[in-house]
Amino acid sequence: MTTLYAKDLSLKDVHRVLGFQRRYNSSFTPLLSLEPLTDFEQQELGQIREDFDNYLIDGEVSEGQVKLLAIAPLLRLAGFYRFPVKISLEENISRITIDDEDTSITGRLDILAVNKQRRLTAHTSLWVLVIESKNSQVNALAGLAQLLTYAYNNLEHQESIWGLATNGMHYQFVYIQSGNPPTYQLLPLLNLMETESSMQVLRVLKAIRQA
């Protein structure tokens, strides 16, 4: 049996091997209820943006720095560190076996948020958000194939999963749904460096957390 690593798969590979089909959605509102930000949240968001920009102007921001400077504080501000949601880092994914091609897929996801109160199986909680991060020089969409691969097995247990591919500056939210075939919707690309767009990033994260 051939073993493939999720990080080496292209989007074309994911479409062919896992059967995903792509859709586009020009608005978050059919899927999420977005609420206004408080003055405190806007101030904190401005600080996150300023901190990231201080590193960005020096050149490439590494993947580790993206996680520390942007993703971690955004998740904290959006409430992802509070019970019942729990954050896991660099988790191994369940091996995906493709019988028709005598192939298995393995890998490690970057960041996973699960709802510990919602049990799907004896060993699996409800997946709330899957995040794949890249360094600032890499297109955020470069993480999309990995995101879909990581979510694939869990679609057996839940109808939908939210994903986020980001390089710290750009934020590509993805709504992944089970079905035959499984589908994913690309939402509008958001930018942390633009004030209104960055506010939308936080509003979306808050809505996903509350949903």
Domain 2-210 fold is tt1808, chain A (3.90.1570)
* Run of H or E including 128: strand 125-133
Tell me how far apart the alpha carbons of residues 174 and 59 are, in angstroms, rounded to a whole number. 28
Spans of all domains in the chain: 2-210
How much is the pTM?
A: 0.92
CB under 8 Å to 29, separation ≥6 — which residues?
A: none
Q: What is the pLDDT along the chain (211 residues), one digit of tens a residue?
A: 677 677 788 899 889 989 999 998 999 999 999 999 999 999 999 999 999 999 999 999 999 999 999 999 999 999 999 999 999 987 666 667 766 566 767 667 789 999 998 888 877 889 999 999 999 999 988 889 989 998 998 898 999 999 999 999 999 999 999 999 999 999 999 999 999 999 999 999 999 999 8
SS3 percent helix, strand, coil of the chain, rounded to 5, is 40, 30, 30
Cite the beta strand spans of 149-198 per DSSP E.
160-166, 170-177, 183-186, 190-191
Token pair recorded at residue 141: 């969409």
Contact 12, 162 (CB under 8 A): no
In one-letter notation, the amino acid at residue 79 is G
Residue 179, phi then psi, degrees to nearest 5: 145, 180
Which residues lie across from 89 on neighbouring strands?
111
